[in-house]
Structure 1
Amino acid sequence: MEDFKDLKVGDSVWTIQEEDTEIIQINYNSSYPIKTKMYSYTLDGFQLNFHKHRSLFCSNPFEKKEDFEPRWMIVSDNNESWHKRFVFMIKNNFYISWFSVEDDEGVAKQVSTVHWKYAKEMEEIEQIELTIEEIAEKFGLCAEQIKIKK
C-alpha cells in the first residue's frame, strides 16, 4: 500500500476520478485531509471512507511501468528457498511464471501459471564448483558409483 503521509502541496498524484492531478491542500485536522483540484481523500487514499477500493495513487497503477523481457529467473515466496522458473510477466508486484516448469520444453507445453513474491536474475545464483570425487567423498561413495543427471 502506498504511503501518503509524505505528500506535499504541489505533488502530482493520480486518482480514479481525475487521473493526473495535483495536491492543492493538506489539512490533517480533517477526515479527508488530502485535497486535489476537485476531490478530497483520506490518508489511506479513499475518496469516501466506506469505499472498498482506494482512488488516490502516487502514480497511475494501470500504466505499464516497464517492458518486461520474459526470461529464466530464480523465484521465491519466502526469500529463502529459490526455484528456477521461466518468468513471463510482472503483475501487481508479483512475478508470474509457468507452473513447475524447469526447462524450455516445459515452457512450450504448460498452460498453468503461478505467482511469486521475489525474483532474482540467474546470474545472482551462487554457484559451487565440485568434482565427482568431492561429491563422492561427501556421500561416502566411490566416484564410479555416481551418475549425474539433470
Structure 2
Amino acid sequence: MPMQRVPWVSLALVLLSYSTLGWLISETRASVSMWLATVVAILLLIVTLTIPWTKITYYFSILLKSNTRSFAVAVVAAFLFFIMIAWFRVFLDTLLIVSATILVKIDFQTAGLRAGLAFLAASIFSLSGLALGALIYKLIYS
C-alpha cells in the first residue's frame, strides 16, 4: 500500500481518541487488571469491526434463534440503553472511540488493505494512543 493511500487523518483521530481514554483511565488510578480489561475490550472492538459481515449475521442468528434468547437480548439492550442515558458523558466518549475506529476501518477497506493488516494497524494506533494518553498524564501530574 503506497504511503499516500494510508488514511493518516483517520489514524490521527484514532490516536487522539484513544489517548483521551488512556488519560481518563490514568486519572482514576486504575489497577493493572483494569488496564488489561481495557486492552482486551479495544482488541475485541477492532476484531468485531474487521470480521466479515457474513460471520456477524451468523452470530446474530444464534442469539435470536429462540424466543427466550430474543427476550434476553431485548432485556440486555434495554439495560444498556438505560446505562447510556444515565452515564451520557461516558457514552459520548465511547461513541467517539467507536466512531473513530469505524472510520479507520472504512478508510482501510477503501484503500484495499487486507483485513489482517487493517486489524494490525488499527490495533497498533489504538494501543499506542492509549499508552500515549497514560504517559502524558503521568508526565504532567507526577
Same fold (TM over 0.5): no
Which structure is higher in helix share? Answer: 2
Return the index of the structure with the highest Cα Rg. 1
TM range, smaller chain: under 0.3
State the TM-score, normalizing by the size of structure 2: 0.19
Which structure is higher in strand share? Answer: 1
State the TM-score, normalizing by the size of structure 1: 0.19
